[in-house]
Amino acid sequence: MNILEKLFGGVARLKLLRFFLLSPEKVFEPKEAARILRVSPGAAAKEARFLLSVGFLKRASRTDAFIKKAGKKSKIVKKRVKGVQLSQTFPCLLALKNLLVDASPASRERMLKFFKNRGKIKLLALGGIFAGGFSNGWPEGAEYLDLLVIGEVRRAAAEKFIKKVEAEVGKELNWTLMSAPEFERRLAMHDKLLRDLFDYPHEFLINKLGVD
């Protein structure tokens, strides 16, 4: 257990703090957070109750929509989900962001090793949370890429690895995988997703395409 885990009452609480700080607009059930963060549902529920009691979280709800099929017909069904959300009025929010978000970078070496060993990767770029997220000018609540992978790698293997990184970082990552030709085409078209990544602080772990 590291010093932050001791200071904040354990691994589960620290992970939940980071998780909601990094997803301030989203509503989650504690069991959903437990699945993403790879902590036990019981621990997640316990820590969520504590964070509600101190005002860090608030009760909230969201509406999920999914397609339900009945024979050849299908219809959109909406479901109301009750959960919790970051309270924007919590008095120590900025201090916690500065301490916890910047203190939890994912291992660059780990990501580099994974993608180098499992595919023909032309470019591996980090942005968003890996480039300082809150402190480097990203608009809060904006959708941005945390990870861009260009090249050939099995998507299933990449997705499994990303789940582990998400548990470590404490956030569902915005990431995409595309081929080199698709990347070149979208870059030439000034694709907004790519432009937003490269216009803000970012770093390259692999850059065989000579991108600035």
Q: Residues 128-142: pLDDT tens digits? A: 888 765 545 455 555
Residue 9's alpha-carbon distances to 6, 58, 172, in angstroms, are 5, 20, 23
Q: What is the per-residue pLDDT for 99? A: 82
29-49: average pLDDT:
95
Residue type, 212: D
* DSSP letters spanning 62-107: EEEEEEEEETTEEEEEEEEEEEEEE-TT-TTHHHHIIIIITT----
Q: Which of 194, 195, 212 is CA-nearest to residue 203? A: 212
Give 133-146 as a 3 state SS string.
CCCCCCCCCCCCCC
pLDDT tens per residue across span 47-102: 999 999 999 999 999 999 888 887 778 888 889 999 999 999 999 888 888 788 76
CATH no. for 3-101:
1.10.10.10
Q: What average pLDDT score do residues 150-155 get? A: 94
Q: Of all residues in the chain, what percent carry a pLDDT higher than 90?
A: 50
Contact 40, 75 (CB under 8 A): no
Chain CA centroid to CA 177, Å: 15
Does residue 22 carry a pLDDT above 80? Answer: yes
- Break the chain into its structural domains and give their ranges: 3-101, 108-207
Residue 200 binned pLDDT confidence (cut-offs 50, 70, 90):
confident
**Residue 12: is its pLDDT beyond 80?**
yes
Confidence at 105, pLDDT banded by 50, 70, 90:
low
Confidence band for 13, pLDDT divided at 50, 70 and 90: very high
Interval 125-129 mean pLDDT: 88
What is the predicted pLDDT for the residue at 133?
57
User: For tokens 């070149």, what's the residue?
Assistant: 184
pLDDT value at 160 more than 70: yes
